[in-house]
Amino acid sequence: MKVLSALLCFFIFIGPLTACSFQQEDSETIRLAEVTRSIFYAPLYVAMEEGFFEEENLNIELTTTWGGDKTMTSLLSDGSDVALVGAETSIYVNSQEPAEPIINFAMLTQSDGTFLMARNETAETFDWENLKGSTFLGQRKGGMPQMAGEFVLKKNNIDPHRDLDLIQNIDFANIANAYASGTGDYVQLFEPQATMFEQKGLGHIVASFGEESGAVPYTVFMAKEGYLEEKGDTLESFTRAIYKAQQWIYESSPEEIAAALTPYFDDTSEEIIADSAVRYRDQESYATSPVLTEEAWDNLQDIMEEAGELPERSDYEKFVDNQWAEKVMNE
């Protein structure tokens, strides 16, 4: 009887541990490559920090690949399963007819994430005409920030290659430092650099390229076609976690958002994280759903075409798959 009682106690004790062990063994791992680390991608970090992936029994191995070319190389060479990168990169790659096409399956951000910072004027005194004859520190040629920037300049009757001195040969990681050291009258920056520089007195945020350029699938989760066919259930769970995070970020306080993001931005104060995230949220840069619409897809290609960077029109029905995004939204 004592032996039976001991065995019963033993199994009661190890039961929860065994269950946890089974749960860990059953969880699906997704190797995710993000093009950069940015507050612009806040819903992704929220999904990780608030346990939304864990609720879907998913384990995310996140790697920052620092650049669209490196991100796509990782995806194409099977170094990652899913990439978080600008949708334009899928258009570039698919135009080269890879062995497996790259499919966009969930949208994270739905507008450009850069802001125009002026060294010597404020939002109250700013006029787009002031850029004529100035030195403009832009983004890398062919990248979505630069194409959206040029699109907005042309929309405001400015020829970026004739009306100003356009600098776009500086690596993405060094643009902010170049401006801080005195290069450029204007600069196109993401958050939190824009808010940090404003607080340091290096300039003023005078316009939003996101508000000016309209809805575009700016940052999208994508994978090779074979992975989608093989891992449909996994991608459904992944997309559900992202959708939960998108809803959460629009419902939560600045303090709650900052608390969730702080572990991913060690060198940035919670105040700046909160201010940056709320600035993005207020202009609805964060997608409110993972569905990538045909209108946004066409707007993206119009911007690329205007910049002279579109290799060919890309078929929405062929390279966008909303089945999981639509399913989780209708649950």
Per-residue pLDDT of the chain (331 residues; tens, 9 = 90+): 433 344 334 334 434 433 333 344 589 999 999 999 999 999 999 999 999 999 999 999 999 999 899 999 999 999 999 999 999 999 999 999 999 999 999 999 999 999 999 999 999 999 999 999 999 999 988 889 999 999 999 999 999 999 999 999 898 889 999 999 999 999 999 999 999 999 999 999 999 999 999 999 999 999 999 999 999 999 999 999 999 999 999 999 999 999 999 999 999 999 999 999 999 999 999 999 999 999 999 999 999 999 999 999 999 999 999 999 999 999 9
Do you find a cis peptide bond into 101, omega within 30 degrees of 0?
A: no
In 39-162, where do the E strands start and end? 58-64, 82-85, 102-109, 114-118, 135-137
The pTM of this model reads 0.89
Picking from 176, 195, 187, 188, the residue whose alpha carbon sits closest to that of residue 274 is: 195
Q: pLDDT at position 140, please? A: 85
Query: Which residue, chain included where needed, has tokens 């608030």?
Result: 50
Give the three-class secondary structure for 323: helix
Q: pLDDT at position 18, please? A: 37
* Number of helical H runs and strand E runs in the chain: 16, 10
User: Strands of 135-137's sheet, edge to edge?
Assistant: 165-167, 135-137, 186-190, 114-118, 204-208
Residue 8: alpha-carbon gap to chain centroid: 51
Structural contact between residues 104 and 87, judged by C-beta atoms closer than 8 angstroms: yes
The 8 Å CB, 24+ separation contacts for 227-235 are 227/81, 227/82, 228/103, 228/105, 228/321, 231/28, 231/81, 232/324, 234/28, 234/30, 234/58, 235/82, 235/105, 235/106, 235/324
Q: pLDDT at position 25, please? A: 56
Q: pLDDT at position 172, please? A: 82
DSSP assignment, residue 120? S
Work out the angle at residue 131's Cα, subtended by the Cα atoms of residues 126 and 135, and round it to the nearest 5 degrees.
125
d(CA 178, CA 194): 13
